[in-house]
Structure formats: structure tokens, C-alpha cells
């Protein structure tokens, strides 16, 4: 049901419905490299991960991507998903901030000032650690501008797809009400019937 090409321009309606503004969209795309619902892993090898990093412009062509890089990246991705579960009202897995803190350290994220007087977080590390650092820098920026709270993981545990909540009162909890919202309601109904 989900794939990155859909998020990156296949279906315009879906694009508007769930995509995040500006640079936060990259974070959403990263989390959605795993589709739990369909058990599809886009980052299933260091080569596949490298291809993804090249596609989104986070890595230079000459950089190496090895198995431990991939393992760390997937740990970071799932820690980010855990934060998005919390954004949707779920409990925060206490391991997630620890994982992200370690990744930020490895990336050597530091506050840099540009000649124009603006500032941003930039990784000192190169390669995959630096690429992960750039993703985390976008997370930090979204946390400070308030857009982070709207990036959520679908409340259906078997889905957990990352989506941007465009509802006026920030009350969205399903990636798509027509799909997961109704499925969750049907599951709850069946549970009540079974208990009765
Ligand atoms: Zn969903």
C-alpha cells in the first residue's frame, strides 16, 4: 500500500495529504523506508542504503556504506519512529532518545553561523554518520519551529507509517482515515463482539 514513489510524486492527492513541509519531508521519507504493513524493507543492504542516500542528496558518490552503518541507520530510523508514535499520543520508548543522542554525538552535530547571520546545526562527521547527522539536524529544527509535533506515526501498530498531520486541531492519528482509521475501528468492533 505504501511506497516512496507514492510519497515522492506518484499520487498527488496522497502527496498533499501526508507529506511534511520543506526539509521535514526527508525525515518522513527516511522513516518510511520500512513499510511494516507490507513487510517491505527498502534499506535491505548497504548498497540499497547508499542508493537511497545518493537519491536524497545526503551522501557523496565516493563514500563507502558498510553493514554497521546500515545497522546504526536502521536503529536511528526506528528511534525516530518511536518519537512519532509518541507524537500521535502513544507511549515513548525510553530507548529511543538514547539511540538518537548517540547518533548525534557520532555525527558531531554543532551549531554553525553563516556569514549572513543565520545559524543551523551541521554535522562535523563525513559519510553515513554525517548523513544521519543531517537528518537529525532537520529533526532538531522541526522541534524548534513547532512542526515536529505534527509528524506522527499511524496509531495502528501494524502500520506505523509516518505522516504529517494537516488537520486544523492536530488531532490526526491515522496515516489515512479511509484505510487505517476504518480498519482500527473494525478491529475494535470485532474485539468487543468477541468479548461480549
Ligand atoms: Zn496507517
pLDDT tens, position by position, 83-96: 999 999 999 999 99
Answer for the pair 16, 24: CB distance below 8 angstroms, yes or no.
Answer: no
How many angstroms is it from 163 CA to the middle of ligand 1?
9
Architecture of the 4-195 domain: Orthogonal Bundle (1.10)
pLDDT of residue 16: 56
Burial of 53 (C-beta count, 10 Å sphere; 0-12/13-18/19+): buried
Gap from CA of 1 to ligand 1 centroid (Å): 10
Q: Which helix (H) or strand (E) holds 195?
A: helix 182-195
Q: Contact 152/81 with Cβ under 8 angstroms?
A: no
pLDDT confidence of residue 147: 96
Please give the helix or strand (H or E) that residue 15 lies within, else none: helix 12-18
Residue-level pLDDT at 149: 97
How far is it, in rounded angstroms, from Cα 128 to Cα 73? Answer: 8
Give the pLDDT of residue 10.
Answer: 41
Residue 163 has a pLDDT of 95
Q: What is the whole-number distance in angstroms between the Cα of residue 175 and the centre of ligand 1? A: 4
Cα(15) to centroid(ligand 1), Å: 15
Nearest residue to 87 (alpha-carbon basis) of 35, 151, 23: 151
Ranges of residues in the chain whose predicted pLDDT is under 50: 1, 3-14
Residue 1's pLDDT is what?
Answer: 45
Amino acid at each position: 500500500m505504501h511506497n516512496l514513489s507514492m510519497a515522492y510524486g506518484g499520487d498527488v492527492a496522497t502527496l498533499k495529504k501526508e507529506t511534511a513541509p520543506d526539509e521535514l519531508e526527508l525525515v518522513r521519507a527516511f522513516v518510511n523506508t520500512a513499510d511494516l504493513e507490507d513487510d517491505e524493507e527498502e534499506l535491505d543492504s548497504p548498497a540499497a542504503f547508499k542508493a537511497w542516500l545518493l537519491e536524497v542528496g545526503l551522501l557523496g558518490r565516493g563514500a563507502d556504506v558498510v553493514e554497521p552503518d546500515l545497522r546504526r541507520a536502521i536503529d536511528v530510523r526506528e528511534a525516530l519512529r518511536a518519537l512519532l508514535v509518541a507524537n500521535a499520543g502513544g507511549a515513548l520508548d525510553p530507548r529511543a532518545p538514547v539511540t538518537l543522542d548517540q547518533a548525534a554525538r557520532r555525527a558531531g552535530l554543532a551549531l554553525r553561523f553563516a556569514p549572513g547571520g543565520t545559524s543551523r546545526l551541521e554535522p562535523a562527521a563525513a559519510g553515513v554518520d554525517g548523513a544521519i547527522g543531517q537528518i537529525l539536524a532537520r529533526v532538531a529544527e522541526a522541534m524548534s519551529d513547532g512542526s515536529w509535533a505534527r509528524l506522527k506515526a499511524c496509531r495502528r501498530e501494524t502500520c506505523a507509517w509516518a505522516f504529517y498531520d494537516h488537520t486544523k486541531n492536530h488531532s490526526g492519528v491515522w496515516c489515512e482515515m479511509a484505510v487505517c482509521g476504518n480498519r482500527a475501528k473494525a478491529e475494535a468492533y470485532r474485539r468487543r463482539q468477541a468479548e461480549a
